[in-house]
Structures are given as structure tokens and as C-alpha cells.
């Protein structure tokens, strides 16, 4: 007993306790819901049976229903476009801004800080903001485009099935770019200045220095930023809720929004769970990529 207490005070007992605490927290609040979610995806769950722990089994029926749904193709395509488009443009803009502010001109730190204002806003607020900006009748964006002569008549961004997904994407890019910029700026500042000086004396021009020093040295950071970008974009819900509600006619519905619609609009929790299970599988692979990237980072 005394030995156990002593180990608790200054032995591995204390370490073990800390690990168990953290793990049990994760298990109770993340592990169990995750498992329950997988279980539900194989059951028939409606509003009436929601209160009970166990529900009638549905076999693979929920999965079959989802894959047979005529909306599935659109949703899959929308999700791919939305995720890849958002991440690619966020990353490019974020990298460009990070490089720009890395030049350390007067006020660079200040202005970079201001960019974070977008990132700290709640998603619903950003959604409302872009609702106004994109509004067909009185939106600033239409006004600017019309003044510049790019369009002749107002574009109804949110209610036109051809542009509805892109109107959410624009808002999401605006929302996510500062996050990309900050992470990439941290990666940039971790590259020692004397490497650039050595490369310069070795005869490298600005482009060659970027290509042979900056990019390879940033590989780990870039991997991590891209992985996080995909994960966060797949989590994006607020902007859809605020801007298009997945419409019109499902033209801007992505997987995460569809899952919510099935569960909490149609109260078919089984099918809603199916989509989240499929998304978990995707995110799992992306997380593996993320872990590998950060591991490479610590090894450098």
C-alpha cells in the first residue's frame, strides 16, 4: 500500500494516472459517440425510438439507401469541388500573404494581425456578412462588378443553382485564408535566414531560392496545413446554414450538410449516421497524412 502511494507521488504511478485520465476523457466524449454513431448507421432510428439505447437492426439497408439516393451523386461531386476548391485557393492565397508579410516592411506584423479578425469570427456571423455581400439586389459584390462593367445585370449568387455552391465557397475561402497564412508564416520564419544568404551567394535568384530552399524546407508545414484544411473544410456547416441552406434544390448540398438534413430535418438518424461514418473514413486517411507530416517536421 505504501509502495503504491509512493509510486503515485513520484513514480510512474502518477504518469500512468495522467495518461488514464486523458484517455478516459477521450473515450467517453469522443470514442463512445463515434462507436455509437457506427452502430446507429446499421439500425432503424426515428423520432419515436430515439430515446432508447438499442434500435431495430436495419442491416446494410441505410447504406444501400444512401448510395441509391438520386441526390448522392450531386452531393459527392459538390463535396469534392467545395473541399478541393476551398483548400487549394485558401492555401495559395494564404501562402502568398505569408510570403508578402515575411518581407517585414513597416507595419507588417500589425496588418497580419488584422487578417486574423476574419478567422476569429463565428461562422454564422461570417455567413450573415457574406449573405449581404452576395445579395442579388443590394449586394456590394454585384455593385462592384457592375460598376467595373464585368456584368450587365445582377447575379443572384445564392439562388442560382449554378453559383450557389460557389457563393458558399467564396465565403469559406475568405474565412479560412488567415488560418493558412498564420501557419505558413510560422513555417517560413522557422527557416534560418543564413540559408537564404548562402543560397544567394551560391548564385540563386529569388525564384530559385523559393523553389530550392523555401518549398522543400516547408514540406512538413505544407502537408500539415493541407491536411488541416481538408479536415476543417469537411467540418464547415455554419456557412451553408447561413447562406444557402444547401439549396436551391440541393444544388449546394455537401455531405456534412446532407447528414444534418437527414438526421434533423427528416429525422432519419440511421441514414444521417451513414454519411458521417463515410466522412470519418475519409478524415481518418487525411489525419494519417497529417500525423506523418508533423512527424517529419519534428525530425528535421
Partner 1 sequence: MTAQIELENVQKHYGTFHALKDIDLSIPKGQFVALVGPSGCGKSTLLRSIAGLERISSGTLSIEGTVVNDMPPRKRDLAMVFQSYALYPHMSVRDNLTYALRLKGVSKADRAKAAQEVAGVIGLQDLLDRKPKELSGGQRQRVAMGRAIIREPKAFLFDEPLSNLDAALRVRMRKEVRALHDRIGATSVYVTHDQIEAMTMADHVVVLQAGVIEQQGAPMALYERPANRFVAGFIGSPAMNFVPGVVTETGRGVRLDMPGAPEIATEIDAAPGRAVDVGLRPEHLAIGASHGTSFPVQVAAVEQTGSSCYLFTEGAPELLVTTDGTSALRAGAAIDLSIAPGQVHLFDPETGLSLRD
What 8-state DSSP symbol labels residue 134? H
Helical H runs in 121-218? 123-134, 140-147, 164-189, 193-201, 206-209, 215-217
CB of 297 to partner 1, least distance (A): 12
Grid coordinates of 199: 543560397
CB of 160 to partner 1, least distance (A): 47
Per-residue x/- track, 242-281, partner 1 (CB under 8 A): ----------------------------------------
What 8-state DSSP symbol labels residue 150? S
Per-residue x/- track, 197-226, partner 1 (CB under 8 A): xxxxxxxxx--x---xx--xx-x-------
Per-residue x/- track, 154-193, partner 1 (CB under 8 A): --------------------------------------x-
Grid coordinates of 33: 459517440
How many residues bind partner 1 (CB under 8 A)? The answer is 19
Of 117 and 201, the one with the shorter C-beta distance to partner 1 is 201
CB of 199 to partner 1, least distance (A): 7
Identified binder of partner 1 from the candidate list 2, 194, 284, 298, rule CB under 8 A = 194
What residues contact residue 232 under an 8 Å CB cut-off, 6+ apart?
176, 179
CB of 190 to partner 1, least distance (A): 11
CB of 192 to partner 1, least distance (A): 7
CB of 105 to partner 1, least distance (A): 16
How far CA 63 is from CA of 38, 52, 55, 75, 274, in Å, comes to 11, 22, 16, 15, 6
Could you tell me the maximum CA-CA distance found in the chain, to the nearest angstrom? 84
Separation of alpha carbons 156 and 180, rounded Å: 29
- Count the alpha carbons within 13 Å of 244 in the hemisphere toward its beta carbon: 31
Name the site residues for partner 1 (rule: CB under 8 A): 192, 194-195, 197-205, 208, 212-213, 216-217, 219, 300
Amino acid at each position: 500500500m505504501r509502495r503504491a502511494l509512493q509510486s503515485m507521488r513520484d513514480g510512474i504511478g502518477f504518469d500512468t494516472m495522467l495518461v488514464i485520465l486523458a484517455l478516459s476523457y477521450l473515450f467517453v466524449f469522443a470514442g463512445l459517440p463515434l462507436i455509437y454513431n457506427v452502430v446507429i448507421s446499421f439500425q432503424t432510428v426515428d423520432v419515436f425510438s430515439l430515446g432508447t439505447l438499442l434500435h431495430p437492426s436495419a442491416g446494410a439497408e441505410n447504406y444501400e439507401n444512401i448510395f441509391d439516393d438520386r441526390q448522392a451523386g450531386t452531393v459527392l461531386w459538390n463535396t469534392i469541388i467545395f473541399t478541393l476548391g476551398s483548400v487549394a485557393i485558401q492555401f495559395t492565397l494564404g501562402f502568398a500573404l505569408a510570403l508578402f508579410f515575411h518581407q517585414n516592411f513597416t507595419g507588417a506584423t500589425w496588418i497580419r494581425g488584422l487578417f486574423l479578425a476574419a478567422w476569429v469570427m463565428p461562422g454564422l456571423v461570417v455567413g450573415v456578412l457574406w449573405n449581404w455581400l452576395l445579395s442579388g439586389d443590394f449586394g456590394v459584390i454585384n455593385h462592384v462588378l457592375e460598376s467595373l462593367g464585368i456584368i450587365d445585370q445582377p447575379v443572384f449568387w445564392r439562388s442560382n443553382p449554378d453559383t450557389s455552391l460557389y457563393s458558399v465557397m467564396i465565403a469559406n475561402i475568405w474565412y479560412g485564408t488567415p488560418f493558412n497564412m498564420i501557419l505558413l508564416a510560422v513555417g517560413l520564419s522557422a527557416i534560418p535566414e543564413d540559408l537564404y544568404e548562402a543560397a544567394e551567394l551560391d548564385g540563386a535568384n529569388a525564384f530559385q531560392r523559393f523553389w530550392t530552399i523555401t518549398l522543400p524546407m516547408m514540406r512538413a508545414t505544407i502537408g500539415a496545413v493541407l491536411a488541416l484544411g481538408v479536415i476543417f473544410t469537411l467540418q464547415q456547416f455554419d456557412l451553408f446554414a447561413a447562406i444557402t441552406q444547401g439549396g436551391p434544390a440541393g444544388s449546394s448540398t455537401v455531405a456534412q450538410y446532407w447528414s444534418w438534413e437527414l438526421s434533423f430535418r427528416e429525422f432519419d438518424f440511421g441514414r444521417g449516421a451513414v454519411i458521417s461514418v463515410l466522412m470519418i473514413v475519409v478524415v481518418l486517411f487525411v489525419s494519417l497524412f497529417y500525423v506523418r507530416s508533423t512527424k517529419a517536421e519534428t525530425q528535421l
